[in-house]
Structure 1
Amino acid sequence: MLGLIGVDVDGTLVGTRNVVRDDVWAALAAARAQGVRIALCSGRPALGHALEYAKRLDPDGWHIFQNGASVVHAESGESLSEAFPPDALPALVNRARAHGRLLELYTDSAIAVTLPGDLARRHADLLGIAYQPQGPEALRGTVVRTQWVVPREDEAAVMAEPHEGLDLHPAGSPVMRDVMFISVTRAGVSKGSAIRRIAARYGVVMNRVMMVGDGENDVSAMREVGHPVAMGNADAPARAAARHTVGHVDDGGLRDAVELALTL
């Protein structure tokens, strides 16, 4: 069996009802009981539901948040965060305000938004955190990531705009189908770079690692591991990067991926 499984959240662990199936939890617990490390590998911050998922998946383990910008130990809270280039922040904030767009700024434990309102409120509900919007000027601590939260029809325009020295990680959620989340990190920071760091911490070689995902932001990790798995509901880039394909998230596809990991 494999030594480490990376698990995306939206569209992989969590389906259209924003819950995790009981049989998926059971499969993940069985794998952990047999010695397989389970690492959450999400674009979400280490807050709310995502942190709860991480603690349940592997309470004494390392987990990936914010598309690799935060690598956090569930029990101790130790962080291996990658700081966002501070010189890049003012231009992004100004662009967001000029276009009337929602840009979120994240530290390891707090969020600021440029545009309070419906999108910010809906995203807070999705994350499982209280909607208490604060502006970028009020945010304290080291910013590790920013994120555009825009209608799907605006994705192409945002992706085409200059983001020098930064990497973009677009992803959707089955719970907010009309929205694209375009995460922005320092160049070179991704789920792929983070899963390598975790595997090294555990002493697991990359050909004994599985990554299960459904979105374009999962591809960097899928390309690093020996066993990339696409969910049945995966976007085309994730399908193209996969070695294995399992069922739809709402049908328990992640359970099938975990059971496969125990046979490899």
Structure 2
Amino acid sequence: MIKLIAIDLDGTLLTKDRTISDENKSAIKKAKELGVKVVLCTGRPLLGMVHYLEELNLREIGDYGITYNGGLVQKTDTGEIVSQKTLTQVEVQELYRLSQAINVPCNFIDLEQIYEPPYPKNRDSLYPTVMNALPYVPVMMDELAEDAAINKVVFCYEQQELDEAIDKIPEAFFEKYTIMKSRPILLEMMHKEVDKGKGIAILCDLLGIKADEVMALGDEANDHAMIEFAGLGVAMENATAEIKESAQFITKNNDEHGVAHAINKFVLQKVDSMSK
């Protein structure tokens, strides 16, 4: 029986115009009324999904959110941190030097702001087109505090040029950090122990929920770990080939209420059949 539903946002719960369909809202509402934990799992900060949480009535006592791709597990009613893993100032400096070496812009984010260090000449970051929930603050790298706790570093640029740059990243970086694409134009780098699967595992341990009682829904590379962790991994029809290969079920696409389709099939209909 499914006791926790972990749902990615962009490309999964949200339509192309970044809204939540009435069908998805209804299915989530019914699942929550049955006592199922519904947890939004995203690369965004909590402030970047508050309006969605409010739409879905997921800011009550006992509701949780997984943000920064699993680096942060929080209570959504208060923002209280349950678990957090961050990058050190030394690690951020190293990743910034990498961005300069492969000629792509770099930003890094903590709980309160998005930092804008000097970009390569004529190669401004596209991150402001993706994330505007936190203020952007210019910073020189020698001004970054020694005790800085950075949740993630991002490289955000035109897809083709970003992909070419990614091919130039030495393998040692992939061994030292969690590195994944969350959008065609966005590469994210985090503490090695961070991914959505580990974030859900921490929450499940807290709530006494087993992996085989979890359904996870996603579409992109940053959802791979939670698709593999969950007893039931669900890929969107619009998901990458890798995600589809890892999933046990492929639902409808994000514009055809794929989240609602999966919840109805594996949660609501199962309950109906058991009650007969």
Do both proteins adopt the same fold according to a TM-score greater than 0.5, normalized to the shorter chain?
yes
Letter in 1 for 2:190: T
Instruction: For structure 2, list consecutive stretches of 5 or more residues without a partner in the other structure.
Output: 271-276
Paired with 1:159 and 1:6, the residues of 2 have a C-alpha distance of 31
Q: Which residue of 1 aligns with 2:180?
A: 169
Identify if the C-alpha distance between structure 1 residues 243 and 167 changes in structure 2 by more than 3 Å, giving closer, same or farther. same
- Where does residue 32 of structure 1 map in the other structure? 32
Matched with 1:232 is 237
> Are 2:163 and 1:155 aligned?
yes
Displacement after TM superposition at 1:98 (Å): 4.9
Q: How big is the shift at 1:67?
A: 0.9
Is 1:88 aligned with 2:96? Answer: no
Percent identity between matched residues is 22
Residue of structure 1 in register with 2:110 after alignment: 107
Separation in 1, partners of 2:31, 2:199:
21
- TM-score after normalising by structure 1: 0.87
Q: For the structure 1 residues 159 and 217, does the alpha-carbon distance in structure 2 shift closer, same or farther, using more than 3 Å as the test?
A: farther
Superposed CA deviations along residues 203-226 of structure 1, whole A, max 9, x for unmatched, are: 111101000000111111111110
1:112: Cα distance to partner?
1.0
Letter paired with 2:166: V
Aligned pair count reads 254
Distance in 2 (alpha carbons) for counterparts of 1:36 and 1:238: 24
Return the alpha-carbon distance in structure 2 between the equivalents of residues 237 and 57 of structure 1.
32
Partner of residue 44, structure 1: 44
Where has structure 1 moved over 6 Å in runs of 4 or more? Answer: none
TM-aligned CA deviation for residue 76 of structure 1: 2.0
Q: What's the CA shift string for 1:208-259, capped at 9, x where partnerless?
A: 1000000111111111110000001000111001101110101111111111
Q: Is the 8 A contact 2:12 2:217 kept in 1?
A: yes
What does the per-residue CA deviation read over 1:68-102, in whole Å, with 9 as the maximum and x for residues that have no partner?
Answer: 11111101211111011432211222332455422
Report the TM-score, using the length of structure 2 for normalisation.
0.84
The partner residue of 2:67 within 65, 68, 72 is 65
Structure of greater Rg: 2
Distance 1:64 1:139, change over 3 A: farther
Mark the runs of 5 or more structure 1 residues left unpaired by the alignment.
173-178
1:214 and 2:219 equivalent? Answer: yes
* Contact 1:2–1:208, Cα closer than 8 Å, also in 2: yes
Quickly say closer, same or farther: Cα 1:159–1:146, change in 2 above 3 A: farther
